[in-house]
A and B are shown apart, each in its own frame.
Chain A
Amino acid sequence: MSVNKNLKILIVDDFATMRKVIRNLLKQGGFENVVEAEDGLAALKILKSQQVDFIISDWNMPNMSGLELLKAVRGDDELKALPFLMVTAEALKDNVVAAVKAGVSNYIVKPFTAEVLNEKIEKIVKSLAA
């Protein structure tokens, strides 16, 4: 089964450059339908105003962290089923456990290649469709 490359993906990261980097890596995997938010609060606004199919969020952000965003998404009846990929700079055990408990679909540790990122997305989407 092939994954729909027209998925609308929301990238959440406080660094504009990192959003661009992720956008560039997604493009290499054929995902070009992308929207961006600079933190969890901005992401929630987008999620409430337009349809998004997949969330890729940084962990460390001001205002609302990736973990807080994940909890808000999972606690919202309209959004709770959305696939959520967490991006972290380090795979600290406590962070991973907290993210799994909060219902993260998967996580990815920086640095990562386009191949690894796109494989993670495809794996999550396929597991949801199964």
Chain B
Amino acid sequence: MDVRFINPFLNGTVQVLKTMAFVEPKAGKPFLKKDSLARGDISGIIGLTGSARGSLALSFSESSILKIVSNMLGEEIKTLNGDIKDAVGEITNMVSGAARKELETLGFNITAAIPTVVAGKDHSISHVLGGPSIIIPFETPQGPFVVDICIGSIAGQ
């Protein structure tokens, strides 16, 4: 995968969570993931097409997403309910939007599909391109989450 794709998704994730949820996540070292197992309890997945094609997933640990969404809504949420699922979809959408805006400056014109949300222990992430994917791990005071991207540029880019 083209390394130019990593920073826009990393920056977009930090920007969205900082702005909407007042959480400043710390990014760890990206690594390659060869299996389809999600690295979190709930994941938002969105397909990307255009001058690059692939998919983006955000997988949150239960503790991290409960705090993030509680901050977004201004009320404490204690379980992975419908609000959390909605919010994970919306966060995925916003991260994709912020990343695509940055990618536009690199000459990539990418559009996004509608996000889907999957929850449960040991659920899997099905990337459009099949894999392998790049994992960008993040830490928050309440727990970890990861950005899981599998994207490739179309010939000519």
A interface residue numbers (CB < 8 A to B): 15-18, 20-21, 24, 27, 89-91, 109-113
Contacts and interface: CB of A to CB of B under 8 A. Distances in A.
**5 A-B pairs with least C-beta separation:** A17-B86, A89-B97, A24-B74, A111-B19, A90-B97
Contacts of B69: 17
Nearest to A90: B97
A98 B100 CA distance: 20
A24 B101 contact: no
Interface string B2-30: 00000000000001100110000000000
Given A24-B73, A89-B96, A111-B20, 7 more contacts: A16-B86, A24-B72, A24-B74, A110-B93, A111-B15, A111-B16, A111-B98
A17 B68 CA distance: 13
A16 B72 CA distance: 13
Contact of A18 (B15, B16, B86, B97): B86
B94 A110 contact: yes
B89 interface: yes
Contact of B94 (A27, A89, A91): A89
Contact of A27 (B15, B74, B93): B74
Contacts of B93: 89, 110
A113 B15 CA distance: 11
B83 A18 contact: no
6 contacts: A15-B90, A16-B82, A21-B20, A24-B74, A111-B19, A111-B94
Contact of B97 (A15, A17, A110): A110
Interface of B: 15-16, 19-20, 69, 72-74, 82-83, 86-87, 89-90, 93-94, 96-98, 100-101, 112
Contacts of A111: 15-16, 19-20, 94, 98
B86 to A, nearest CB: 4
Nearest to B72: A21
Contacts of A90: 97, 100-101
Nearest to A28: B74
A21 B69 CA distance: 9
Contact of B73 (A17, A89, A109): A17
B83 A16 contact: yes
Contacts of A20: 73, 83
A79 B82 CA distance: 34
Given A27-B74, A111-B98, A17 B20 contact: no
B135 to A, nearest CB: 23
A42 to B, nearest CB: 17
